[in-house]
Structure 1
Amino acid sequence: MAQAAAAVAETRLPTIGHGHNGEVTQPRADIRTPVPPAPMLATAGQPPVGEDWVVEPKFDGARCAARIGGGRAELFSRQANNLSTYFPDVVAGCSAHGHREAIFDGEIIVLDDRTRPNFQLLQRRLHTPRPARALQRSYPARLVVFDVLHLDGRDLTPLPYRDRRAILENLELGDLTSELATSPAWPGIDGRDVLQAMVDVGMEGVVCKAPGSPYSAGRRSRQWIKTPYRHSSTFVVGGYFPSGSESVGALLVGAHDPSGALTYCGTISVGFTERARRDLGLRLALLRQDTSPFRSTDHTVDDHRVRWVKPRVVGRVEFREFTGRLRHAAWKGMVDDVDAATVGLPVHP
Structure 2
Amino acid sequence: MLARTRPSLPAAGLPPHTSAEQKVDGYRLICFARRDRTVLQSRRGSDLAAAFPELAAAGSALGRPLVLDGELVVPRTGRLDFALLQQRARRRGRSAAEAAQAHPAYMIVFDLLESAGTTLLHQPYRERRALLEELFRDGVLPTGTGQFALCPATEDPAQARAWMDPAWGSVGIEGLVLKRHQQPYLPGERAWEKVRARASDEGIVGGVTGTLRAPSQLLLGRYDTSGDLRLVARTTPLARPARRELAPLLEPADQSHPWHGVRFSAGWGSREDLDYQPVQPRVVAEFLADTAVDAGRYRHPVRFLRVRSEIDPAEVTKFAGYRRSGSGGSS
Q: TM-score range by the shorter chain?
A: 0.7 to 0.9
* Residue 164 of structure 2 is aligned to residue 195 of structure 1: yes
Aligned ranges 1:62-77 → 2 under 5 Å:
62-77=27-42
Aligned mate of 1:54, from 1, 5, 19: 19
Paired position in structure 2 for 1:117: 80
1:213-244 deviation line (CA, Å, top 9, x unaligned): 221211112xx33233234211111122226x
Deviation at 1:107, TM superposition (A): 0.3
Which of 183, 187, 206 in structure 1 is aligned with 2:151? Answer: 183
DSSP-derived class of the 1:133 partner: helix
Alpha carbons 1:55, 1:194 under 8 Å: kept: no
Q: Which residue of 1 aligns with 2:222?
A: 255
Task: Tell me the residue number matched to 1:233.
Answer: 201
Q: Which runs of 5+ in 1 are unaligned?
A: 1-38
Q: CA deviation at 1:267?
A: 4.8
Paired amino acid for 1:230:
R
Whole-Å separation in 1 of the counterparts to 2:256 and 2:243: 21
After TM superposition, give the deviation of residue 212 of structure 1 in Å.
1.6
| Gap runs ≥5 in structure 2 | 266-272, 322-331
Which residue, out of 110, 124, 133, partners 2:97? Answer: 133
Which of 299, 305, 310 is 1:333 aligned to? 305
Q: What is the CA deviation profile of residues 99-124 of structure 1, one whole-angstrom value per residue up to 9, with x for unaligned ones? A: 5332211000011122x222122122
- Give the paired residue count: 301
In the alignment, the residues of structure 1 paired with residue 189 and residue 144 of structure 2 have an alpha-carbon distance, to the nearest angstrom, of 28
Residue aligning to 1:41: 3
Does the CA-based 8 Å contact 2:264-2:274 persist in structure 1? no
Q: Contact (CA 8 Å) 1:241, 1:249: kept in 2 or not?
A: yes
Partner of 1:35: none
Q: Classify 1:197/1:267 alpha carbon distance in 2 versus 1 (closer, same or farther; 3 Å).
A: closer
Structure 1 residues 292 and 334 mapped into 2: Cα distance closer, same or farther (>3 Å)? farther
**What whole-Å deviation, never above 9, does each CA across 1:132-182 have from its counterpart, x for those lacking one?**
422111110011110011223332112111000011122221225421232
Secondary structure (helix, strand or coil) at the match of 1:121 reads helix
How far did residue 66 of structure 1 move? 0.8
Match of 2:230 in 1: 264
Please tell me the residue identity of whatever aligns with 2:164.
Answer: L
Aligned partner of 1:127: which letter? R
Residue 69 to residue 305, structure 1, CA distance change in 2 (3 Å): closer
For 2:147 and 2:2, locate their aligned partners in 1 and report how far apart those are by CA, in whole Å.
23
8 A contact 2:81–2:294 mirrored in 1 = no
- Post-superposition CA distance 1:284-329 (Å, at most 9, x none): 6x51122253378x96549794322212222112332252323224
For 2:219 and 2:169, the matched residues in 1 are separated by: 30
Give the conservation status (yes or no) of the 8 Å contact 2:82–2:294. no
Asked if residue 208 in structure 1 is aligned to residue 184 in structure 2, the reply is no
Report the counterpart of residue 9 of structure 1 in structure 2: none
The alignment's TM-score, normalised by the length of structure 2, stands at: 0.78
Q: Which of the numbers 39, 42, 53 marks the counterpart of 1:88?
A: 53
Query: TM-score normalised to the size of structure 1?
Result: 0.75
Q: For residues 86 and 106 of structure 1, what CA distance do their matches in structure 2 show?
A: 17
| C-alpha separation in 2, matches of 1:283 and 1:107 | 45
Note if contact 1:266-1:326 (Cα within 8 Å) is conserved in structure 2: yes
Q: CA deviation at 1:42?
A: 4.5
Q: Deviations over 1:66-117 (max 9, x none)?
A: 11234421011112122121111111111112x5332211000011122x22
1:306 aligns with 276
In structure 2, the residue corresponding to 1:333 is in which secondary structure?
A: strand
Aligned equivalents of 2:169 and 2:253: distance in 1? 43
Question: Relative to structure 1, is the Cα distance of residues 175 and 45 closer, same or farther in structure 2, using a 3 angstrom cutoff?
Answer: farther
Mapped to 1, the partners of 2:170 and 2:253 lie a distance apart of: 44
Relative distance call for 1:79 and 1:308 in structure 2 (3 A) is: same
Q: How far apart, CA to CA, are the structure 2 residues paired with 1:240 and 1:187?
A: 44
Are 2:3 and 2:177, in contact at CA under 8 Å, matched by a contact in 1?
A: no
* Overall identity of the aligned pairs, in %: 31
Q: Distance in 2 between matches of 1:198 and 1:187?
A: 21
Residue 159 of structure 1 corresponds to 123
Distance in 2, Cα, partners of 1:59 & 1:151: 24
> Does the 8 A contact of 1:262 with 1:295 survive in 2?
no
Tell me the CA shift for residue 279 of structure 1: 5.0
SS at match of 2:126: helix
Q: 1:184 to 1:57 in 2, by over 3 A?
A: same
- 8 Å CA contact retained: 1:313, 1:334: no
- Read off the aligned partner of 1:318 and give its amino acid letter: L
Amino acid at match of 1:218: G
**Superposed CA RMSD:** 3.1
**Per-residue deviation at 1:207?**
2.3
